[in-house]
Amino acid sequence: MGSAMSQQVTRPILWNVPVSFQVLLYVLLLALAAFYFYVALRWYKLISRGAPEDRFDRPLRRLSLMLRDAIGQGNVVREEWGWMHYAMYVGFIGLFIGTTIVFINSDLRALLALLGINLYFYFGTFYLVFKAAMDTFFLLLIVGTLAGAARRLFVRPSVLSQPPREKVNNNLENFLGYWFAALMLALVALTGLMLEGARINANPPPFTEWAYIGRQLARAEAAFGAGPRFHRMLWLVHMLLVYVLLFSFGFSKLRHIFFAPINLYFRNLKPRGRLAPIKDFENAETFGVSRIEQYTWKQLLDMASCLECGRCTINCPTVATGKALNPKHLVIVQREHLLRQAPRLLASQPQDGAAEPEDMITQVVTEPVIWGCTTCGWCEEGCPVGIEHIQRIVDMRRYLVLMESKFPPEATATFRGIEVQGNPWGLDQNKRADWAKDLDIPLMAELDNPQDVDVLYWVGCAGSYDERNQKVSRAFAALLKQAGLRFAILGPEEMCTGDPARRLGNEYLYATVAAQNIETLNRYKPRRIVTQCPHCFHNLKNEYPDFGGNFEVLHEGELIDELIAAGRLQPTQKMPVRVTYHDPCYMARHNGKWEGARRALKAVPGVTLAEIEQCKHRTFCCGAGGGGFWKEEREGTRINHKRFEQISQARPETIAVGCPFCLTMMEDAVKSRSLEDQLPVRDLAELIAQSCGVLPTK
């Protein structure tokens, strides 16, 4: 296209808009800027009332992840109906950029001209592509908005459920709700396309325009005699709708478009499921959280960022089994509580005669919600804006346990057992190594040079005391021997890692046993530690470093896979069986490790691995995590029964597990249906040991 013709392929900007209209919009723009500044400052002051927390490390890593998940919508598009939000997002951002381009080529161009700078690129091929792109963005916004409305009206997925109205009825956001935002988005997009048609009619271009939707609307509008006056009034209506939409961002859930990227930037970069320690037991005035301002600023930012999409509930075990805890509802009611407390929190000085604030635990959240969590981590895996649910729940548990001495009655024996005997069953600590009496496994204390061992085998409480899991310990020890590894155990020197105590809120007990274990391990300085318990793995690897213990830790699945790859284990006995592997939450979701166990199973001749939808990082909890193994399920259906229903869809002949608690929970579910003779539950180590010939073939 020649230069002269290129200059013609354009259109005048604001040619039919009175100066009074333009002045009005700039006044509204200034008002919008002032309003945003006020809202941003208020939220900043409110969030900064939270406790300090360091989230400013590794800025480049944070930025790259923020761009991936905020700009790239990484955690949105993977879910069902994710395309709907993606269409709305692309449409809105595209229109925002397009409006900015128009502003640059009109108002900003005039300002730059005063400085002798000629800035104008709204012509030629760029202009044609721009028009086609803008029509596409309008269309995407309309399609996404209508799909969202249809989903709420006709599909009505459970993820969109809301907390009881009495807990969220105190602010304008809940009055306006979803439908106001959807209506405004649709109207902005529709009037934008109509405006394109009106512009074509009022000022017909001397060339073929690429506004493929606007051109069709122009024909329809022409039938009604639409001319310059119609275009002028429609322009004003469209721009006023845009401003109404933009103003609503300040007091509705649409604010997540600003908060989400910020929250994603400050996300947790440490392993998921790692709990922050209480740093100073001696001088702290209170432990845990009972008042909203005791949360950290990041936890308050989480509340502001929630877009109420419900993705945190898709695979949540408590939601799926009808329990009180709904992670989405928890964040919403805490945010509403935060907003109700804002006058108190933002007051420059205490107000005389002010009423006592609501009690967050008993009046806002409730104890059944607090004790329902299994800390499986799906809520954090599913959340597209980086909200961290587990720590906020455990913080409230810490308050109840350490300040109020309130916890499920079954936990009393668990705490006592760990404190007195070093295991949650309260069994004799001196009998911890009895399972290995006839296996010729050395104790670290018996070795002249403990550092000569290849691995320290951390057996764990279940592997040491539970009769069924002792069989797993024996099978795993047999594999280590067959592989020619020099290994030893701690025996009576090994104590519970403290995981049940920590997840149930007894941080003081956890810190005590962690310090004792770390002292023991630092004395022996093992090269590597291996354990069949994902909870032991997670604590030793990810949480003990906060207390001075830094160790290389492997799960049984990792070590078995490593030994098979090295040829030191050779599964040769054929096992023609269809196996479904149940991923432990604390390995797959919290630590991102699931391939090693699968490679090991696939190395067994004859094994067919049958996967289900809820596997790997999308695994579903067995119900034992978060201290669930040590307390009763008093609400809804049992989580392990729900998990068994999911696994059954793959029609397995054997269920494989990689966790002692998953083993117990899945065997319980199988027995509840009287299927124990038809559907065995086996630990990964048992299956590999059988194929390697160190266990009898069943």
DSSP string computed for 323-366:
-S--HHHHHHHHHHHHHHHHHHHH-SSPPTTPPPPP-IIIIII-
Query: Cα–Cα distance between 200 and 495 in angstroms, integer?
Result: 79
Q: What are phi and psi of 553, to 5 degrees?
A: -125, 135
Paired tokens of 596: 């090693």
Pair 430, 548 in one domain: yes
Query: Mean pLDDT over residues 251-267, rounded?
Result: 92
Query: Mean pLDDT over residues 134-153, rounded?
Result: 93
Pair 519, 580 in one domain: no
19 Cβ contact partners less than 8 Å away, ≥ 6 residues apart: none
Query: Mean pLDDT over residues 457-482, rounded?
Result: 97
Position 697 pLDDT exceeds 70: no
Pair 455, 374 in one domain: no
Position 4 pLDDT exceeds 60: no
- Among 120, 136, 314, 143, smallest CA distance to 211 is for 136
pLDDT for the residue 284: 83
Pair 514, 539 in one domain: yes
Question: pLDDT tens for residues 53-95?
Answer: 999 999 999 999 999 999 888 788 888 888 888 999 999 999 9
Paired tokens of 105: 């080529």
Query: Cα–Cα distance between 479 and 494 in angstroms, integer?
Result: 21
Query: Mean pLDDT over residues 566-576, rounded?
Result: 96
Beta bridge partners of 437: none
By the 10 Å C-beta count (0-12 exposed, 13-18 middle, 19+ buried), 555 is classed as: buried
Pair 370, 462 in one domain: no
Query: Mean pLDDT over residues 588-597, rounded?
Result: 96
Pair 625, 666 in one domain: yes
On whether residue 578 sits in a domain, the answer given is yes
Pair 502, 601 in one domain: no
Paired tokens of 78: 């993977």
Structure-model confidence comparison of residues 363 and 312, the more confident one: 312
Q: What is the CATH number of the domain that holds 556?
A: 3.40.50
pTM: 0.92
Query: Cα–Cα distance between 278 and 301 in angstroms, integer?
Result: 21
CA angle 283, 284, 287 (to 5 degrees): 150
Pair 585, 679 in one domain: yes
Residue 642 belongs to domain spanning: 569-691
Position 126 pLDDT exceeds 90: no
Domain total of the chain: 3
Structure-model confidence comparison of residues 651 and 353, the more confident one: 651
Structure-model confidence comparison of residues 288 and 121, the more confident one: 288
Query: Cα–Cα distance between 130 and 99 in angstroms, integer?
Result: 11
Pair 518, 421 in one domain: yes
Element (H, E) at 443: none
Position 290 pLDDT exceeds 60: yes
Residue 354's pLDDT band, with cuts at 50, 70 and 90, is low
Are 376 and 589 spatial neighbours (Cβ–Cβ below 8 Å)?
yes
Which of 171-180, 433-442, 463-472 is least confident?
Answer: 171-180
Q: Would you say the C-alpha torsion 39, 338, 158, 372 has a positive or negative sign?
A: positive
Are 423 and 432 spatial neighbours (Cβ–Cβ below 8 Å)?
yes
pLDDT for the residue 161: 86
Element (H, E) at 272: none
Name the CA radius of gyration of the chain, rounded. Answer: 31
Which of 111-125, 213-227, 590-604, 616-630 is least confident?
Answer: 111-125
Are 391 and 277 spatial neighbours (Cβ–Cβ below 8 Å)?
no
Position 352 pLDDT exceeds 60: no
Amino acid at 390: I
Pair 530, 582 in one domain: no
pLDDT for the residue 594: 96
pLDDT for the residue 169: 63
On whether residue 623 sits in a domain, the answer given is yes
Q: Would you say the C-alpha torsion 311, 316, 319, 324 has a positive or negative sign?
A: negative
pLDDT for the residue 371: 97
DSSP count for the chain of H helices, then E strands: 29, 8
Position 5 pLDDT exceeds 50: no
Pair 555, 575 in one domain: no
From the centroid of its chain, how far is CA 14? 46
